[in-house]
Amino acid sequence: MLSIGSTWTPRGSGCQFEIPTRWGSSGRINLMGCLTVEGSTTRLDVRELNGNCTGEQVTQFLDTVAQTCDPHCLTVVILDNAPFHKGAALQKKIPQWEDQGLYLRYLPPYAPMLNHIEAVWRRLKGFLMPRRCYNSVTELRDALGAALTALGARFI
């Protein structure tokens, strides 16, 4: 059975046009990623999230990244200004991560074009995954896995 979505309608029209959708909010897959650039090579590390992105999930992801850092090398993670990137729990971990060699830097507001991983997500969604409706979340996850494999991504 299809769930119901909503659209915009003229103000005061008194009617709402309903559009059936396949899975509703359960048909969404969220990823968190880290693009590593070393000289002329790049590596994409990704993690599938359970539900929406939270500060706790970002902190756990950055803990995983910090474990792979060499304290004698500079590792910088660029974050945008999303609320889950700036939570109190995450801010408390910054000194520990810096001791492990991981430093966080934030983009200026409204400047996603400065974040190199945005080009990776654009390529993933726009070119590597077929533009079509998937019949199940499993089918969507399989297509996403194939596209991430084509990018050489590593699941962490």
Residue 61 in any domain: the answer is yes
Nearest to 29 by CA among 5, 4, 46: 46
Residue 128 in any domain: the answer is yes
Residue 118 in any domain: the answer is yes
Q: What is the pLDDT of residue 56?
A: 92
Q: What is the mean pLDDT of the chain?
A: 83
Residue 13 in any domain: the answer is no
- Number of structural domains in the chain: 1
Residue 4 in any domain: the answer is no
Residue 130 in any domain: the answer is yes
CATH number of the domain enclosing 97? 3.30.420.10
- 101-122 pLDDT, tens digit per residue, is 999 999 998 887 888 888 898 8
Name the stretches of the chain with pLDDT < 50: 1-2
CA distance 66 to 86: 17
What is the pTM (predicted TM-score) of this model? Answer: 0.75
Residue 124 in any domain: the answer is yes
As beta bridge partners, residue 43 has 36
Q: Give the domain range for residue 35.
A: 26-155
Distances (CA, A) of 2 to 46, 66, 137, 156: 31, 43, 14, 34
